[in-house]
Amino acid sequence: MSDIQSLLKDYLDYLEIEKNRSPKTRENYEHYLKEFLASTKIKSPSDITDDAVRNFRIGLARKNLKKITQNYYVIAIRNFLKYLSKRDIKTLAAEKIELPKTPSRQILIIEYGDLERLLSAPSGSDLRSIRDKAILETFFSTGLRISELCSLSRYIDLERGEITVRGKGDKLRVVFLSDRAKKAIKNYLDKRPDADEAMFVSLTKGSSVKSHESKVIGRITPRTVQRLVNFYRRKAGIADHVTPHQLRHQFATDLLLNGADLRSVQSLLGHSNISTTQVYTHLTNKELREIHKSFHGRRRKS
C-alpha cells in the first residue's frame, strides 16, 4: 500500500470512528478521494499541488457533472487536506482550494389540493393499501427522511404519538404523529399478521398472490417507498414529479405557512444548520405577499 493510500485509509477510519460519520458518508468520501488520487497519479501528500487539484476540477467540469456533485469532490479533498495538516503532514493547505459557487437551491412543492389527493389515493382495505396510506400520512406528519421512515420500529406509543428517531450523524430527535397518521398506523398494524419488528414491511406481489393475501417479506426498502409514492402520484392525477423527500418539503412548508418559527422547524427536520432550513422561507414569506397585495399596481383601474 502506497504512502497516500495508507493515509487515506487512516482518514476514512478517523471519519467513521472519531467523527462518528455514517458508513454511507465513509463510502462516499472514499469514492471521491480514490478518484482524485487515481486520476492525478498522486503517490504521497507532497504530490497534492494547486495544479493537480485544478486539473482534476477541470476534468470534472468537462464531464458535465452538476455543480453540486463537483462540490462534493472538492469538499472531500479539502477535508482530507485538513486531516493531513492536523497530523503535521506537509501538503497543500486546504484553504487554498476555493469551493465553486452553486446556484441557490430551489424547493419545489405541489399545491395543497394535490397533496390531499395524494394522501387519500390509497383507498383499499387490503394490507398493501392501508400500509401505503400509513406511509404517506407518516411522511407528511413527521417530515422524516426516507431512510428514517424505513428504519422505524412498530413498537411505539401511538397514544402519545411521539417517535424518537435516529437521524443523520446519529443524532436523536423527536417527531410527532398527527391524529390522521396515528389512525392510519393503527389500522395498518391491527391488520398485520406477523411479528416483524419493522414498522413498515415489504409485501409479496404477483399474479399468483391476491393483494389481500400478501405476505410479509421483511423491512421495506427505500426503493419500494419511492415506487409507491410515484404510483399514488399518478393515481391522484398529479402531473408534477413527487418523491418521498418532497413530502418532507411539504411538511416543512406547511408548518411555516401556518406560523411555525424557523428554529422549531429546524429541530423537527433534524437540520444541524439553520441555513439548511432557510431554503423554505422564499415559499412562505406572508409579509412580502401582503406588501405586494397592498402596494402593487394601486394606480391601475380594476
Residues with catalytic roles: 145, 168, 245, 248, 271, 280
CA angle 37, 42, 43 (to 5 degrees): 120
CA 165, CA 269: separation in Å to the nearest integer?
A: 11
> Other C-beta atoms within 10 Å of 118: how many?
23
For residue 69, the SS3 value is: helix
Residue 248 makes CB contacts below 8 A (sequence gap 6+) with 139, 143, 144, 145, 269
C-alpha cell of residue 166? 435516529
Helix (H) or strand (E) holding 16: helix 3-17
C-alpha cell of residue 176? 410527532
